[in-house]
Amino acid sequence: MSRVKNICCIGAGYVGGPTMAVIAAKCPHIKVTIVDLNEARIAAWNNENLDNLPVYEPGLADVVAQARGRNLFFSTEVDKAIDEAEMIFISVNTPTKTYGLGKGKAADLKYIELCARQIAAVAKTDKIVVEKSTLPVRTAEAVRSILDNTGNGVKFQILSNPEFLAEGTAVEDLLSPDRVLIGGETTEGGKEAMEALAEVYANWIPKERILTTNVWSSELSKLTANAFLAQRVSSINAISELCERTEADVNEVARAIGMDSRIGPKFLKASVGFGGSCFQKDILNLVYIAKSYGLDEVADYWEQVCIMNDHQKRRFAANIVKTLYNTVSGKKIAFLGWAFKKDTNDTRESAAIYVADDLLFEQANIAVFDPKVEEPQVYSDLNYLNTRSKEENAKGVSVYNDPYAALEGAHAIAVLTEWDEFKEYDWQRIYDNMKKPAFVFDGRNLLDGDKLKEIGFVFQAIGK
| Residues catalogued as catalytic | 278
Of 349, 56, 195, 10, which Cα lies nearest the Cα of 20?
Answer: 10
Nearest to 135 by CA among 321, 252, 278: 278
Query: Please, how many CA atoms are within 13 Å of residue 462, restricted to the half-sphere of its CB?
Result: 30
Check: CB of residue 36 under 8 Å from CB of residue 42: yes
Q: 431, exposed or middle or buried, with CB in 10 Å at 0-12, 13-18, 19+?
A: middle
**Cβ neighbour number for residue 423 with a 10 Å cutoff:** 12
Element (DSSP H or E) covering residue 7: strand 6-10
Beta strand spans in 297-408 (E): 332-336, 365-369, 397-399
Between CA 369 and CA 401 the distance in angstroms is 6
Three-state DSSP state, 391: helix
> Do 234 and 309 contact (CB within 8 A), yes or no?
yes
Q: Listing from the earlier edge strand, what are the strands of the sheet with 412-415?
A: 397-399, 365-369, 332-336, 412-415, 439-442, 458-461
From 76, 121, 116, 73, select the one nearest 94 (Cα to Cα): 116
Whole-number Å distance between alpha carbons of 22 and 311: 38
- Give 3-state DSSP helix, strand, coil % of the chain, rounded to 5: 45, 15, 40
Question: CA 438 to CA 441: how far, in whole Å?
Answer: 10
Residue closest to 213 by CA, chosen among 197, 196, 227, 194: 194
Q: Specify the 3-state DSSP secondary structure of 31.
A: strand
Among the listed residues 148, 154, 152, 146, the one whose alpha carbon sits nearest the alpha carbon of residue 125? 154
